[in-house]
């Protein structure tokens, strides 16, 4: 409510100079070779986003002299005739320092960036290039598992970082940025990527200025935006409308960094490339699906932003809902971004709009343990004392289609809980006419199969199966068929931001959220959120560091579900 | 799922399959005729009691569903009480035996009946290495009834003390529980006795009978004979034991080990001869592979997990592989082996039994007869393509030490799915495993990311029976990192990390089952007949034509012929892939 006023500014500043940004981004490279000089291996990446025919990709060893050579089908990205400029707007912010610059360096270190790339920081603070480099260098790290040339690579990378100070709403200052960009691009064909790491109330201003004054004249211009994308259907639609005055749909890259997580990416691989899973993927075999997110810390002095949104908008409506759609979608026509996003939208549109009774809320309260006091949510100085913003929520969602009719999809998200984790749990149905019923004792729920994808921490996939306890007699128990990533894949798993930045550079939209997806997602949650606020529903209090409010259990019980993460044999 | 209930099954006396095409295939399969409906005597309720109190271990309570107990003698009040106990146990597994004992107010072991176990051929290798140690392990775990006696019977002259001395050398305690081990051993040995006699002498068995009676001390007596002797004296020993040393008041059961003949005719003759002296339910034909932990687990995996049963058919399974290999040769013990060969020694029994368990329809219950009905049903449908491969053996013997075979089951569930068997001696490793290869993903979205070898991209379920018991499912997974590269990873269950307890030897389970009258893991006559009728024609042809096996070096991966056989059915052996 207070928030929508932020956008009133937009409607006045929107003008008719639409679509100044060049939109050549459609033709991203179909095939993208990168040669890693140190290992002399050809690493390749297949981009089928635009349907270009794919060529066979032999793994060619190449000579040392050619190690730095970038081959590309397409003139636009990567080859020596074009340049790439990445501008981080809001360069002095936390996200930029902790995630964006390190991710860019990691991409550079692993030779994923085109030869002629530059990184620009843009913010209001006065800073020299040197000061920016100094600031960045503190957060850069090399992969744990390969440190060779790390120092040298860092210096090379920092040499390509520059800074431009300016106001976010000043076209003049963006014009100055443009001059600086052009200077570095040296007349070559240029592609420009803007990463908006700024508060939502200045999104539109920046987009306006950047598009009018700093668009690329010769290559593509793309803009990455982070959540929040509004706080309900109306504000989100308003934001989209404003963005579209200056950008086309394909220039907008809405990031949801959960979609860049390794196991979320793997979800589709698991489903669609394994014969053993797809036949089970329906209401015939799946009893319920649980999407669980928990943090073991509270707002810790940063509650100002959070208090205006709450856990449902912050985690559920985006991260968990995105995972749900990936989980539940029908087989897409291909792995093309549009095909996948079409299927995701279909899921969202088949879903039942959330009702108040499908949701339970919680808010953490202070708790003292072992002499240490853990502050409650309203103890946070940045949070109003009478705040009823939920820091915990559980919800039951349903998809009204042939595949999922009647299967509850349960979501749970909370702060200040006993553990930090994100996981997907698939509980299968009971075995009909189970021959071994007697060997389980009374609790048949203990005897169903469960597939768990642990997104974080300690990425893992495991399938709970019933097994005979070795020995004489016939006693069954649940054992796990396990795949622990740490044990199987010794390499460090890249941060989600690396993947997403690379995808944006390559024009791969699969993991970004399309406008219609966003609309559909809001449409599910908005009515319920409105009702919550109108009725001022008070959340159930739960102690900091606990397992959350018991209301979550009652909600689950209503749908004959038992939370898999709190079942005792799994912690 | 269409299952055949016992009653229905028994109404079939014979059944013949239509002759299949003549290119080397079998022409006629006669399905066995069954003997009269089996009347099962009831086994006594037996509980394993942990001797050291307080430590209630998971295997203290036996809950074999198949062991349906009905009182032998209704006059015995305690039987009824035990029945109640058993009911209690079945309905709620959480109550410990100790609690039950208290509740019932008496010691369940104070049963007036006794069990005498006579090991015929007590001085043999199997007896020393497997049978006596297994009996001791059962005793140690409190699984034997209170009044039990172990008798050794053989031709050598020996005193009780000498037998005890011999037995004691091979007894061991579980690695994970050694308390009171020495003491327990002494107690066990005290119950071991020896009687020397000829295997074909009624007189000597009468003398044994007397001795047994002495130890039974007038209690109701149950007697178990374990025939650990060469097949040519089976019948003699059975004749003497049954006519001169059968239990007067309780049950008498006889455990026999393979070989059960060497073809349909000799097997039928053996069965016929045995049946002159024993009824079907007295005969316990042991196949020790059926007592292996993971073979037992096969049915659990299938029938108690929703995720496997839907996949268990030709629709999803491309082929099934049953693989057995030993890393040593006959090593001077080839005399017996040379007369049989690897097909009779391993395939026709162990691997075929596992196949039947794997492929059977859902049984009506876990009751022994239901399971065995399903198994013989399965067996009845198997046809042999008439091509058995790759055998090798030295000198002028053409006895195969290695064989691979492709079998097919002509029913709705398995039509067209090759079941490949492979068994060999003197190979590069020692293993026994079941491999289930699933079909390709139709219209795989990720084909491009897998590369050209689509075989690499199919799921595979592996059940490793030995060594290092394990279950794993090969899945396609994204290699973590940027880009999209897939590889195969395993969803793993390694028994040694999950279950810290030592896994009991197969003989322990089977001996216990025989004592309890649990027949699930033993082979019924009709099963045996059906199994032989599958293999006999091919075995005969091999011998008539003196087909010469392909040579392979000791310690190698076996003859390449096995690959060609597999290739004929579009199969690739899972155990010889690059990743294994």
Examine the residue annotation and report whether A319 is marked as an active-site residue of this protein: yes
CB contact under 8 A, A331 and B501: no
B435 secondary structure, DSSP code:
E
Chain B interface, mutation test: which of A39, A467, A511, most B Cβ atoms within 10 Å? A467
**What's the mean pLDDT in B86-110?**
40
Report the share of chain B in percent with pLDDT over 90.
33
Nearest to A43 by CA among A59, A28, A55: A59
Check if the beta carbon of residue B414 is closer than 8 Å to that of residue B314. Answer: yes
Which tens digits make up the pLDDT trace of B141-191?
Answer: 888 998 899 999 999 999 999 999 999 988 877 655 667 788 888 999 999
**Straight-line distance from the first to the last Cα atom of chain B, in angstroms, rounded to the nearest whole number:** 36
A351 secondary structure, DSSP code:
B
- Annotated catalytic residue within A319, A418, A430, A559: A319
How far apart CA B117 and CA B222 sit, in angstroms, is 9
The pTM of this model reads 0.78
**What's the mean pLDDT in B402-407?**
91
- Annotated catalytic residue within B29, B195, B288, B350: B350
Q: What was the pLDDT predicted at A451?
A: 94
Which tens digits make up the pLDDT trace of A452-500?
Answer: 999 988 889 999 988 888 888 788 888 888 888 888 887 778 889 999 9
| Closest Cα in chain A to B442 | A275
| Closest Cα in chain A to B478 | A266
| Residue A506: CB atoms within 10 Å | 18
| Interface contact A381, partner B, CB < 8 A | no
- Token readout for B77 is 């009040």
How far apart CA B361 and CA A145 sit, in angstroms, is 51
- CA B184 → CA A383, B170, B174, B189, B512, distances in Å? 70, 14, 12, 9, 19
User: Which residues on A lie below 8 Å from B297 (Cβ)?
Assistant: 467-468
Q: What was the pLDDT predicted at B22?
A: 37
- Residues of B (315-334) whose Cβ lies below 8 Å from A: 316
- CA A140 → CA A97, A153, A353, distances in Å? 9, 11, 44
User: Which residues on B lie below 8 Å from A334 (Cβ)?
Assistant: 445
Does B432 have pLDDT greater than 90? yes
Does B354 have pLDDT greater than 60? yes
- Residues of A (105-164) whose Cβ lies below 8 Å from B: 107, 110, 112
Q: What was the pLDDT predicted at A120?
A: 96
Residue A226 neighbours by CB under 8 Å, 6+ apart:
A95, A196, A197, A255, A257
How far apart CA B318 and CA A358 sit, in angstroms, is 44
The alpha carbon of residue B59 is apart from the nearest alpha carbon of chain A, in Å, by 6
User: Which residues on B lie below 8 Å from A48 (Cβ)?
Assistant: 448
| Interface contact B363, partner A, CB < 8 A | yes
| Interface contact B75, partner A, CB < 8 A | no
User: Which residues on B lie below 8 Å from A447 (Cβ)?
Assistant: 304
- Please work out, in degrees rounded to the nearest 5, the angle formed at the alpha carbon of residue B290 by the alpha carbons of B285 and B296: 140
CB contact under 8 A, A463 and B473: yes
User: Which residues on A lie below 8 Å from B93 (Cβ)?
Assistant: 438-441, 475
Check if the beta carbon of residue B31 is closer than 8 Å to that of residue B16. Answer: yes
Q: What was the pLDDT predicted at A33?
A: 37
- Token readout for A520 is 């559909």
| Closest Cα in chain A to B512 | A472
CB contact under 8 A, B441 and A476: no
The alpha carbon of residue A184 is apart from the nearest alpha carbon of chain B, in Å, by 28
Residue B237 — very low, low, confident or very high, per pLDDT cuts 50/70/90?
very high
Q: Any idea of the CA torsion for A300, A305, A306, A309, to the nearest 10 degrees?
A: 170
- Token readout for B55 is 């430590």
Q: What was the pLDDT predicted at B64?
A: 32
How far apart CA A391 and CA A416 sit, in angstroms, is 8
The alpha carbon of residue B486 is apart from the nearest alpha carbon of chain A, in Å, by 8
- Residues of A (482-501) whose Cβ lies below 8 Å from B: 482-483, 485, 488-489, 491, 493-494, 498-499
Q: Is B269 helix (H, G, I), strand (E, B) or coil?
A: helix
Q: What was the pLDDT predicted at A302?
A: 84
- Residue in A431, A438, A494 closest to B90 by CB: A438
Q: Of B53-62, B276-285, B333-342, which one has max mean pLDDT?
A: B276-285
- Residues of B (282-311) whose Cβ lies below 8 Å from A: 293, 296-297, 299-301, 303-307, 309-311
- Length of chain A equals 571
**Straight-line distance from the first to the last Cα atom of chain A, in angstroms, rounded to the nearest whole number:** 40
CB contact under 8 A, B304 and A442: no
Residue B411 — very low, low, confident or very high, per pLDDT cuts 50/70/90?
confident
Does B90 have pLDDT greater than 70? no
Q: What was the pLDDT predicted at A145?
A: 58
Per-residue DSSP letters for A124-153? SS---HHHHHHHHHTT----TT--TTHHHH
Q: Which residues of chain A have pLDDT under 70?
A: 1-80, 143-147, 440-446, 567-571
CB contact under 8 A, B504 and A436: no
Q: What was the pLDDT predicted at B57?
A: 32
Chain A interface, mutation test: which of B63, B68, B307, most A Cβ atoms within 10 Å? B307
Q: Is the model more confident about A247 or about B497?
A: A247
Residue B532 neighbours by CB under 8 Å, 6+ apart:
B261, B263, B264, B267, B268, B348
Longest dimension (CA), chain A: 82
Check if the beta carbon of residue B119 is closer than 8 Å to that of residue B227. Answer: no
CB contact under 8 A, B477 and A436: no
User: Which residues on A lie below 8 Å from B304 (Cβ)?
Assistant: 431, 434-436, 439-440, 447, 466, 476
| Interface contact A554, partner B, CB < 8 A | no
CB contact under 8 A, A276 and B62: no
CB contact under 8 A, A276 and B473: yes
Q: How many CA within 13 A on the CB side of residue A206? A: 23
- Average confidence score pLDDT of chain B: 76
Check if the beta carbon of residue B450 is closer than 8 Å to that of residue B456. Answer: yes
Per-residue DSSP letters for B313-327? STTTEEEEEEEEE-S
- Length of chain B equals 580
Q: Is the model more confident about B254 or about A435?
A: B254
CB-based burial, A246-285: b 16+ in 10 Å, e otherwise: bbbebbbbbbbbbbbbbbbbbbbbbbbbbbbbbebbeeeb
Q: Mapped to the 3 state alphabet, what secondary structure does A246-304 carry?
A: HCCHHHEEEECHHHHCHHHHHHHHHHHCCCCCHHHCCCCCEEEEEEEEECCCCCCCCHH
CB contact under 8 A, A431 and B498: no
User: Which residues on B lie below 8 Å from A441 (Cβ)?
Assistant: 92-94
User: Which residues on A lie below 8 Å from B316 (Cβ)?
Assistant: 275-276, 279
Per-residue DSSP letters for A12-47? HH--S----S--GGG---SEEEEEETTTTEEEEEE-
User: Which residues on A lie below 8 Å from B489 (Cβ)?
Assistant: 483, 488
Does B53 have pLDDT greater than 90? no
- Token readout for A101 is 């610059």
CB contact under 8 A, B92 and A331: no
Q: Is the model more confident about A548 or about B483?
A: A548
Q: What was the pLDDT predicted at A42?
A: 34
CB contact under 8 A, A471 and B501: yes
């Amino acid at each position: 409510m207070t928030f929508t006023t932020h956008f009133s500014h937009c409607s006045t500043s929107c003008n008719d100079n639409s679509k100044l940004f060049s939109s050549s981004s459609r033709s991203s490279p179909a095939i993208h070779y990168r040669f890693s000089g140190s290992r002399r291996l050809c690493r390749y990446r297949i981009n089928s986003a635009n349907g270009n025919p794919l060529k066979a990709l032999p793994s060619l060893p190449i000579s040392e002299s050619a190690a730095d050579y970038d081959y590309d089908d397409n003139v636009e990205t990567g080859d020596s005739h074009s340049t790439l400029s990445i501008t981080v707007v809001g360069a002095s912010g936390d996200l930029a320092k902790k995630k964006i610059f390190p991710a860019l360096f990691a991409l550079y270190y692993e030779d994923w960036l085109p030869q002629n790339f530059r990184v620009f920081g843009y913010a209001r603070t006065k800073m020299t290039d040197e000061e920016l480099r100094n600031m960045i260098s503190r957060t850069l790290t090399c992969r744990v598992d390969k440190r060779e040339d790390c120092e040298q690579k860092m210096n090379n990378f920092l040499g390509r970082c520059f800074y431009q100070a300016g106001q976010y709403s000043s076209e003049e200052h963006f014009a100055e940025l443009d001059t600086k960009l052009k200077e570095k691009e040296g007349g070559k064909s240029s592609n420009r990527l803007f990463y908006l790491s700024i508060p939502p109330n200045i999104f539109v201003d920046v987009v306006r200025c950047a598009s009018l004054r700093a668009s690329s004249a010769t290559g593509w211009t793309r803009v990455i935006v982070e959540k929040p994308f509004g706080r309900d259907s109306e504000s989100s639609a308003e934001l989209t409308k404003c963005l579209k005055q200056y950008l086309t749909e394909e220039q907008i890259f809405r990031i949801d960094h959960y979609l860049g997580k390794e196991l979320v990416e793997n979800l589709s691989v698991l489903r669609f490339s394994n014969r053993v899973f797809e036949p089970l993927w329906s209401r015939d075999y799946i009893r319920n699906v649980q999407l669980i997110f928990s943090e073991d810390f509270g707002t810790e002095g940063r509650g100002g932003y959070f208090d205006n949104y709450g856990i449902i908008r912050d985690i559920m409506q985006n991260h968990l809902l995105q995972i749900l759609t990936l989980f539940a979608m029908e087989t897409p026509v291909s792995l093309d971004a549009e095909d996948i996003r079409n299927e995701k939208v279909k899921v969202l549109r088949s879903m039942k709009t959330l009702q108040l009774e499908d949701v339970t809320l919680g808010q953490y309260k202070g708790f003292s343990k072992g002499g240490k006091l853990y502050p409650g949510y309203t103890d946070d100085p940045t949070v109003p004392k009478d705040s009823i913003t939920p820091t915990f929520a559980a919800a039951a969602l349903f998809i009204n289609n042939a595949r999922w009719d009647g299967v509850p999809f349960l979501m749970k998200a909370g702060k200040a809980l006993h553990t930090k984790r994100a996981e997907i749990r698939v509980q299968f149905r009971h075995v009909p006419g189970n021959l071994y019923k007697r060997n389980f004792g009374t609790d048949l729920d203990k005897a169903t199969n469960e597939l768990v994808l642990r997104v974080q921490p300690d990425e893992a996939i495991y399938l709970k199966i019933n097994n005979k306890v070795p020995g004489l007699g016939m006693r069954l128990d649940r054992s796990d068929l396990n795949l622990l990533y740490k044990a199987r894949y010794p390499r460090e798993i890249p941060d989600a931001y690396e993947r997403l930045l690379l995808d944006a550079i390559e024009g791969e939209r699969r993991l970004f959220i399309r406008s219609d997806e966003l609309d559909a997602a809001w449409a599910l949650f908005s009515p319920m959120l409105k009702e919550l606020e109108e009725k001022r529903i008070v959340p159930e209090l739960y102690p900091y560091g606990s397992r959350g409010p018991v209301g979550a259990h009652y909600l689950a019980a209503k749908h004959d579900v038992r939370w898999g993460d709190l079942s005792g044999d799994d912690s | 799922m269409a299952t055949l209930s016992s009653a229905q099954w028994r109404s079939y006396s014979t059944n013949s399959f239509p002759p299949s095409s003549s290119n080397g295939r079998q022409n006629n399969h006669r399905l066995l005729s069954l003997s009269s409906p089996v009347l099962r005597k009831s086994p006594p309720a037996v509980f394993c009691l942990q001797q050291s109190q307080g430590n209630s271990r998971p295997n203290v309570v036996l809950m074999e569903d198949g062991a349906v107990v009905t009182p032998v003698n209704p006059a015995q009040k305690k039987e009824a009480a035990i029945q109640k106990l058993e009911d209690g146990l079945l309905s709620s597994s959480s109550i410990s035996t100790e609690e039950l004992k208290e509740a019932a107010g008496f010691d369940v072991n104070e049963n007036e009946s006794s069990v005498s176990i006579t090991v015929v051929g007590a001085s043999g290798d199997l007896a020393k290495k497997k049978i006596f140690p297994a009996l001791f392990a059962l005793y140690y775990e409190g699984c034997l009834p209170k009044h039990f006696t172990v008798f050794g019977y053989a031709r050598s002259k020996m005193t009780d003390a000498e037998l005890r001395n011999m037995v004691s050398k091979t007894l061991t305690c579980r690695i994970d529980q050694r308390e009171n081990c020495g003491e327990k051993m002494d107690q066990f040995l005290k119950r071991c006795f020896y009687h020397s006699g000829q295997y074909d002498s009624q007189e000597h068995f009468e003398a044994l009978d007397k001795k047994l009676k002495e130890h039974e001390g007038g209690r109701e007596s149950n007697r178990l004979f374990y025939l650990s002797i060469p097949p040519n004296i089976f019948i003699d020993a059975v004749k003497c034991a049954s006519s001169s040393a059968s239990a007067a008041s309780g049950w008498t059961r006889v455990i026999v080990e393979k070989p059960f003949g060497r073809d349909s005719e000799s097997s039928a003759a053996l069965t016929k001869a045995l049946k002159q002296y024993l009824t079907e339910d007295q005969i316990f034909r042991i196949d020790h592979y059926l007592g292996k932990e993971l073979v037992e687990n096969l049915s659990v995996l299938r029938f108690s997990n929703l995720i496997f049963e839907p996949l268990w058919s030709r629709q999803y399974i491309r082929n099934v592989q049953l693989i057995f290999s030993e890393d040593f040769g006959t090593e001077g013990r080839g005399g017996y082996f040379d007369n049989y060969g690897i097909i009779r020694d391993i395939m026709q029994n162990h691997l075929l039994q596992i196949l039947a368990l794997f492929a059977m329809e859902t049984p009506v219950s876990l009751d022994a007869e239901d399971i065995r009905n399903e198994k013989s049903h399965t067996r009845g449908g198997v046809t042999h393509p008439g091509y058995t491969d790759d055998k090798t053996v030295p000198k002028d013997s053409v006895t195969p030490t290695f064989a691979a075979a492709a079998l097919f089951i002509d029913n709705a569930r398995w039509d067209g799915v090759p079941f490949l068997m492979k068994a060999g001696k003197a190979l590069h490793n020692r293993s026994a495993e079941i491999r289930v290869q699933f079909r390709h993903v139709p219209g795989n979205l990720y084909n491009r990311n897998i590369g050209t070898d689509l075989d690499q991209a199919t799921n595979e379920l592996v059940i490793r029976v030995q060594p290092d018991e394990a279950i794993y499912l090969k899945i396609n997974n994204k290699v973590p990192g940027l880009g999209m590269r897939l590889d195969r990873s395993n969803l793993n269950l390694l028994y040694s990390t999950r279950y810290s307890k030592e896994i009991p030897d197969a003989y322990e389970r089977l001996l216990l089952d025989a004592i309890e009258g649990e027949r699930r893991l033993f082979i019924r006559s009709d099963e045996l007949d059906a199994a032989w009728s599958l293999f006999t024609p091919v075995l005969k042809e091999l011998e008539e034509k003196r087909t010469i096996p392909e040579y392979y070096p000791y310690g190698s991966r076996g003859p390449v012929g096995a690959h060609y056989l597999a290739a004929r059915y579009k199969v690739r052996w899972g155990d010889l892939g690059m990743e294994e």
